[in-house]
A and B are shown apart, each in its own frame.
Chain A
Amino acid sequence: MHPIVAITIARLKEFIRRPESVFWVYLFPVLMVGVLGVAFRNPAAETYDVDIIESEAAESMLTHFSSLPQLKPRIVSEEEARARLRTGKTLLVISATSASLQDEDFELEFLLDPTRPGSLSARNLVDDHLQRELGRIDVFASRDETFAEPGGRYVDFLVPGLLAMGLMGGGLWGVGFAIVDMRIRKLLKRLMATPMKRSHFLMGMMASRLVFMIPQIAILLLFSYWMFGVKIFGNPFSLALVVLVGAIEFSVIGLLVAARAQTLESVSGLMNMVMLPMYTLCGIFFSYERFPEIVHPLIRMLPLTPLIDALRAIMLDGDSIFTLGPELLVMGFWCVVPFALAMVVFRWND
């Protein structure tokens, strides 16, 4: 048997005989899609908790609101209303200036945090409704139609991010951690005492990683399709190619992380140093557009960002791989440079 094949088969056997690693690699991302997809599904009808400060007008406001099913009003003291607003239990506090809604100088005062999701919607809903109830005539009629086609939902945004996260974790654990573990067990040194070629060893480690990756990607995509109808709008071969480049990229980064580490603590520290910033910065769970524009070019130079951007472009926008030159270039950089560096500093014999 060729050494590359023998190493690949041995690694695959070790992997599938370790149920916990099968869980983390194959099932954990699926659970993430399931949980986050359900938690952030587009709500059928959003409801708003609003507080009305006790007054004589409060009761009559309450009767006007009874025709608004999405509004959950309650009458409370001013003190309690402020406390509830501060702790996020209510979105909006309404206070009336006079006893009756029919008074000439009747005014409403809204207390809200406009940055809190839903607060402004609640304010506009209450304002519009009362204005109309009390006689405002709209200039023209309008009506809403709900749009929730696959492709535009949070779960559609999330799945490419989780695919990329899986490739990152897989490369760092499957190659980086695995090599350090072999070094600690003196197995790497033992292999170096055989005629095994270093290139065969590295290719075997990478090849086994690429083989584990196929079910990892397939399970996540199939589950997302089955559970949420997440579709691939672009060419599946383009997607496969980007996935392949991403897997190689993070295997190589794993190799660099493992190049010198001699304890599990040091490799875990290095892996966290690599992964934690990218978890938050690169747009797995939310777009990096939320960060100040000035740092976007930096974020786009990180290894994970171009992978996520390319996966989203293919899956959501249906882009062709030929439009993804800049992303592939950055990923190519992260394949070549860490590899060269790793080969210079790698500890083979101790």
Chain B
Amino acid sequence: MTAAIRVKNLVKTYRGKPPVAAVRGINFQIEVGQCYGVLGPNGAGKTTTIEILEGLLAATSGEVEVLGLNWSDHADAIRQRIGVSLQETRLSERLSVGETLQLFRSFYPTGIDADEAMRRVSLEAKKSAWVKTLSGGQKQRLAVATALVGDPELIFLDEPTTGLDPSSRRQMWEIIESFGRHEKTVLLTTHYMEEAERLCDRVAIFDEGKIIAEGTPAELIRSLGAEHVIDFTIDRDTNDFRDEAILSIPTVEKMEQDGGLFHLTVGQPHVVLPELISSLASQGISLSSLTTRHASLEDVFVSLTGKHLLEPA
């Protein structure tokens, strides 16, 4: 397989006092036809990385290859073959959806017509509506449509669902899934782990300018050593609690405490649960809540960094 994107030792330091090291030496590769997710909290370097790949920012050092070409010699050729949706572009409010797409279409020597682009993001009904009348989800779909008019081989989507309500988000997911059927390569950034799990063939987890884990979502979850999580709370002060007994239960990989909530990463919940309850009972503790679930990329992130992806604002 050929690589759509190749990144080697990429570093970006913003000048300033003090200088800000946004990206600190990252390497990854995206194969043609893949949907690749860049996952990480705000400030992890996701947008900086994607904007370097889009040719909007210059790297401080390192190598970047897009569709086998480099930005310094082939900027125009690359731009004709990629489609971009930035975070927070405000398109002209007093142009209609159709007019906006015709304007963007005029910049590409080849591509699909505005009507086809509208169809691909289900905005046909809004063809003559002004941009200012669109909902948040519709505006975001229009932003994606502007990335499609040049019929790109590679599509960059920077946080395409941030701020959208759940139904708009699902609609956007269906659109992104349809790119895969057209054999497009997609690079998307997100801080929603379920989005990455659902859409992406491979995921790179960014934190503080570095890639701290990379692989398919299944591989990353398997790297936890156990694929289930038991979350529970107890009916008394957590300081009284001794954890050796719990950690010795078969298939328990680890236990993390997050305020009053305990996360137990386990291989086989049906083995752990009876033992957990009896172990707590022998200490005179009873459970006040208990849930079990599959491990997610969020758990991977928490176990790697001790932080949550979505820090409360």
Residues of A within 8 A of B (CB): 1-3, 5-7, 10, 13-14, 17-18, 185-187, 189-196, 349-350
* B103 and A7 form a contact (CB under 8 A): yes
Residue of B55, B56, B106 contacting most chain A CB atoms (<10 Å):
B106
8 Å CB interface, B252-277 against A:
none
Selected from A5, A14, A18, A193, the residue in CB contact (under 8 A) with B56 is: A193
A195 in contact with B90 given A6-B102, A6-B103, A10-B103 (CB within 8 Å): no
Selected from A2, A18, A187, A192, the residue in CB contact (under 8 A) with B90 is: A187
B310 to chain A, nearest CB (A): 23
A14 in contact with B95 given A187-B90, A349-B56, A349-B57 (CB within 8 Å): yes
Closest to A2 in B: B106
B232 at the interface (CB under 8 A from A): no
Produce 1/0 per residue, B150-163, CB < 8 A to A. Answer: 10000000000000
Total residue contacts A-B, CB cutoff 8 A: 71
Selected from A186, A193, A349, the residue in CB contact (under 8 A) with B88 is: A186
* A10 and B90 form a contact (CB under 8 A): no
* B90 and A185 form a contact (CB under 8 A): yes
Across-interface contacts of B109 in A (CB, < 8 A): 195
B97 at the interface (CB under 8 A from A): no
Closest to A195 in B: B79
Selected from A1, A185, A349, the residue in CB contact (under 8 A) with B106 is: A1
A190 in contact with B95 given A185-B90, A195-B108, A349-B56 (CB within 8 Å): no
Cα(A349)–Cα(B57), bound, Å:
7
A13 in contact with B89 given A2-B106, A190-B84, A195-B109 (CB within 8 Å): no
B32 to chain A, nearest CB (A): 20
Residues of B within 8 A of A (CB): 54-57, 76, 79-80, 82, 84, 86, 88-92, 94-95, 99, 102-104, 106-109, 130, 146, 150
A194 in contact with B89 given A1-B102, A189-B56 (CB within 8 Å): no
Across-interface contacts of B95 in A (CB, < 8 A): 10, 13-14
* B150 and A18 form a contact (CB under 8 A): no
* B92 and A189 form a contact (CB under 8 A): no
* B92 and A187 form a contact (CB under 8 A): yes
Given contacts A10-B95, A194-B107, 17 further A-B contacts (CB under 8 A): A1-B102, A1-B106, A6-B107, A7-B106, A18-B94, A185-B90, A186-B88, A187-B91, A189-B86, A190-B91, A193-B55, A193-B79, A194-B84, A194-B108, A195-B76, A195-B108, A350-B56
Closest to B132 in A: A17
* B150 and A190 form a contact (CB under 8 A): no
Residue of A18, A185, A189, A190 contacting most chain B CB atoms (<10 Å):
A190
A301 to chain B, nearest CB (A): 37
Selected from A13, A187, A189, A194, the residue in CB contact (under 8 A) with B94 is: A13
